[in-house]
Amino acid sequence: MLWLVLCLVVVPVVTANGRLPNDTIPLHYDLHLEVTGLGLDDYTYRGNVSIRIAIARDTDQIVLHNLGNTLRTISVRRCRDGVQIPHQLLETDESSELLRIRTDRVLDRVDDKVIQLVIEFNNTLGVDHMGFYRTQYRGPKRVPMTVATTHFQPSYARMAFPCFDEPGLKSTFALTIVSNASHLVASNTPIETISWLLDGHKAATTLLTSLEQYTGQSLGLKKLDHAAIPEFGKAMENWGLVSYDEQFLVLSANAHRLQRAQAVLTIAHETAHQLFGNLVGPAWWSYLWLSEGFATYFEILLGSEVYPELLPLEESFAVRHMRPALLADAFEGHALTVEPLAADSARIEMLFDTITYSKAGCILRMIN
């Protein structure tokens, strides 16, 4: 008699375009960071991230992103009863920037349902404006002062801590930062004290109010801070804590009209992103033009409403976006929706161009 035995093993694989499998979905992060060496020329930091993860499909692997973090310990347990789940570290692949953890048994989407992954790690604050990095400014008496800040778009959160670093995998966060008492710490959620830089507060609060009134959508932001970051060179719409290069936020009393207009547009653009991109946004970078297009459209709309003397609506759209969009479309155009689009950070970075910003904004204005 001949017996045939089949052994079935659940093996999730990263999709052909480098995307994460959809077997495990992050629900909530508890992130603990210890940054105590600033000012002492010690730029290392310690971290602990605890992630509540829903099991969407039966699987024996947890796959997430990690780049540059030195892992100290990893633990996995079932949330409903705290039972530890035996596992092994399968792979930390620098080229694919993935961390794979294989469990000794299949995680059942019904029985296990939600698990908790805890990772302790070490890292160092870099200087390349990606992930969690450091920069400097001149303080009182021109003394060099160090700032530790973050920049995660499009795929740099994985450089700061292990995480599910895709735009469609939004989660809630609880953040704890341990630092020296002399340091000022600002985050995305309310803190005990808030400091505003020069007159950035007036423009930012007025633009936020106008956005909520125009769209009829309350963002539910408990606070919205705007921080000037030395040598940042751009702006980034972090939820509740927007970061800017100093030129966009810190203006002298005799700043030129064009400089003031650019500052208003930048603040309006990042404020619009609190709704378009943060509160709601595309699941993948193929549809980046939707979040950037709406932010471009509203930067002019809100800016011209709040500061009509600086930004007349029709003139501003034509000069700042329509003409550049037509020129870019003639020489370097690409489809607004880019599919297929692999998980390639360099390729994704290239999408942040005139087509994605200006052409998308113009098309949305035409629809309006």
Q: Find out whether 203 and 249 touch, Cβ atoms under 8 Å.
A: no
* Structural contact between residues 303 and 272, judged by C-beta atoms closer than 8 angstroms: no
Q: Which fold has domain 248-367?
A: Neutral Protease; domain 2 (1.10.390)
Q: Has 269 been labeled as part of a binding site?
A: yes
The H or E element spanning position 313 is helix 313-317
d(CA 362, CA 322): 6
What's the CATH architecture for 16-209?
Sandwich (2.60)
The active-site residue, picked from 237, 270, 299, 305, is 270
Closest CA to 79 of 47, 120, 117: 117
Q: Which two tokens stand for residue 214?
A: 């125009």
Reduced to 3 states, what is the DSSP secondary structure of residue 131? strand
Which H helix or E strand runs over 294? helix 288-306
Local confidence pLDDT in tens for the 368 residues of the chain:
333 333 334 444 555 567 899 899 999 999 999 998 887 778 999 999 999 999 999 999 999 999 999 999 999 999 999 899 999 887 777 778 999 999 999 999 999 999 999 999 999 999 999 999 999 888 787 888 888 999 999 999 999 999 999 999 999 998 888 887 777 888 887 754 433 333 445 566 678 888 989 899 988 888 888 888 888 988 999 999 999 998 888 877 778 888 888 888 999 999 999 999 999 999 999 999 999 999 999 999 998 888 888 888 778 888 899 999 999 998 877 899 999 999 998 999 999 999 999 999 999 999 98
Domain residue ranges in the chain: 16-209, 248-367
Q: Are 154 and 349 in contact (CB under 8 A)?
A: yes
156's tokens:
């740099």
pLDDT value, residue 11 = 47
pLDDT computed for residue 195 by the predictor? 34
Query: Residue 2: what pLDDT?
Result: 39
Token representation of residue 107? 């995680």
Tell me if domain 16-209 and domain 248-367 are identical in fold: no
Q: Could you confirm whether 315 is annotated as catalytic?
A: no
The residue whose two tokens read 């939820």 is 239
**What is the pLDDT, as a whole number, of residue 199?**
46
Binding residue per annotation — 273? Answer: yes
Site of tokens 């998308």: 360
CA angle at residue 68 from 289 to 286, to 5 degrees?
A: 15
